[in-house]
Structure 1
Amino acid sequence: MTFKTLLTVTGPNQGEGDLKLAADLCEQIDAHLSVLVLEIAAPPSGGEYAAVVSPAWLAERQAELKRLEKRISDVAGFLSQRAISADLSDDYPDTGWADDVIGRRARYADLTILGPDLLTGHTLKDKVIEGVLFSSGKPMLVVPEGARPTLTPKRILVAWDARLESSRAVRESLDLLKGADDVRLVMVDPLEGEFHHGAEPGADAATYLARHGVNVTVDRLPSSNHSVAEVLRQHAGDVAAELMVMGAYGHSRLRERIFGGVTKSMLEGQSLPVLMAR
């Protein structure tokens, strides 16, 4: 996919770091920047919406709206100083609906950027991850503190396990892969067989990528009593990868998002930008 619209989500308690990161990426590839400013509404003090609300809760809501207005003004000022195409939207959802609001907005972008400022938070970070992965059908780029993100990487590691999520991540990043000098298709403890990686693990995926002009090398790695996430991170460092591409795993149960072990580990302990799709 060619990335023409990048989305970033920001809240009243964030600075300009993530905005600058997203704007810089837009300048790098001549893309449009879409910014969603979000304030998640505090729940009623009584717990039930039908209950009589307290004056303190009403005052808190008013304070939240004022913070939202200020943040909108600050972001608008930031965007006015950048020589990029951009749009700005805002919302004030209840906690239970915030991920749906974010997911709907992310459907109209090619890629959502999660920067270090957002990743240090809790509620908003979780809602952005859940909304993008479960409600948008679009990929996200996770950029941890200290990483140097680029949308023109020359060395990419693809975490491949032959599942649907991996296939979608590869498809969403295909233009990036074609532009790279070195793409490593990495499997950890791959299983042979019709219902796993095939007779020769990685061969089918590598052939598919090669037909698209991707310079791909297949790396089959043993876990050697280490976690899959640890093996992937170590190998990414060994090959000097600038980006990791992987599928995101998990399921939804009564609006509670539960992520698979590798996905959760990669989100929490990563130092390299990761493009995820589900």
Structure 2
Amino acid sequence: MIKTVLSVIGVDHSDGDLILAIELAREAEAHLAVLVLAISAPPPASEYAAVVNAAWLEERQEDIERLRERVEEVKALLAVTQLSADVGGEYLDRAWIDEAVGHRARCADLTVIGPVLAADDNLRTPVLKGALYQAQIPVLFVPDGKRPTVRPKRVLVGWDGGLEASRAVHEALPLLAGAEEVHIAMVDPRGREDGLQIEPGADIAAYLARHGVKAVVDRLPSGGQPVADALRTHAVDTAADMIVIGAYGHSRLRDLIFGGVTRSMIGNADLPVFMAR
């Protein structure tokens, strides 16, 4: 059950993503936590360090003041909604954004990412990393022109039997249980080599049925197209209003590269995507 929704916005972002988060929190009857982020300028390296540093310090103070003002603007906007809410601001180096988001997201049930944040190349990936990997809570990715919801009617679940997909299904259970129709989409599925599972997907369908989820398994041939494209096409064919997928990727030191399916779903989303890892 979703009781706390986290919305992350940039200090110079419009109110678009915040309004989407307000709508989602109101629908879920949840507390809304807002984190406003400002990226600090790196310290200068110059032979005129004394002069440059003075200008840099002045710029930092202006940025910090702008962040304070933006936090107050968000508080005023939320006060009108009468929602249960809190607002915080962070001024930090880009390398620490994921940790700051992760720290805040550990006290939330869901992070909502709207189209404004999604279009911000500086913030999008570290915010996703913070929520999905540092805090390990699900993300609802909302593309431009779509409205977020915790009560989807028709849901497409991308299923390959892996740990990430399993995690996504478990996190999405409250949404799936309330849906009228759930399609478990498997692209080019294979049966187990030991022969114990004749029909791929039958196990997850049975599991969901025990939770009261009305699910059917759709086994799809890729036809040579990428998995993400096959899922998007089937989402249209089934009139889905949400896709549920696992967030695939790997890490090396502090860097994380999202896997091909995850990256494609994020970059070309045309309906809300619920992701978990």
TM-score class, shorter-chain normalisation, is over 0.9
Q: Tell me the C-alpha RMSD between the 2 structures.
A: 1.7
Q: Which amino acid aligns with 2:217?
A: V
Q: Which amino acid aligns with 2:124?
A: K
Tell me, which stretches of 5 or more residues in structure 2 are unaligned?
A: none
**Is 1:214 aligned to residue 208 of structure 2?**
no
> What SS is found at the alignment partner of 1:271?
coil
- Check 1:136–1:81 CA distance in 2 against 1; reply closer, same or farther (3 A cut): same
Residue 60 of structure 1, CA deviation: 2.1
C-alpha distance after superposition, 1:18-47 (max 9, x if no partner): 111111111112111000111121111229
Q: Which amino acid aligns with 1:259?
A: F
**Is 1:269 aligned to residue 268 of structure 2?**
yes
Residue identity over aligned pairs, in percent, reads 52
Q: Could you tell me whether the CA contact under 8 Å between 2:244 and 2:275 is conserved in 1? A: yes
**Is 1:10 aligned to residue 24 of structure 2?**
no
**Is 1:44 aligned to residue 71 of structure 2?**
no
> What SS is found at the alignment partner of 1:258?
strand
Q: Which amino acid aligns with 2:93?
A: D
Q: Superposition pairs for residues 1-278 of structure 1, below 5 Å?
A: 2-46=1-45, 54-193=53-192, 198-278=197-277
Tell me, which stretches of 5 or more residues in structure 1 are unaligned?
A: none
Aligned residues: 274
C-alpha distance after superposition, 1:73-118 (max 9, x if no partner): 1101111110211111121121111110101100100000000111
What is the TM-score when the length of structure 2 is the normalising length? 0.95
C-alpha distance after superposition, 1:194-245 (max 9, x if no partner): 5999432000000100011100000000000111111100110111101110
Q: Which of 121-130 and 134-143 deviates more?
A: 121-130
> What SS is found at the alignment partner of 1:173?
helix
Q: Which of 189-198 and 60-69 deviates more?
A: 189-198
- Aligned counterparts of 2:194 and 2:12: Cα–Cα separation in 1: 47
Q: Which amino acid aligns with 1:31?
A: A
What is the TM-score when the length of structure 1 is the normalising length? 0.94
- Aligned counterparts of 1:206 and 1:195: Cα–Cα separation in 2: 20
> What SS is found at the alignment partner of 1:54?
helix
- Check 1:45–1:5 CA distance in 2 against 1; reply closer, same or farther (3 A cut): same
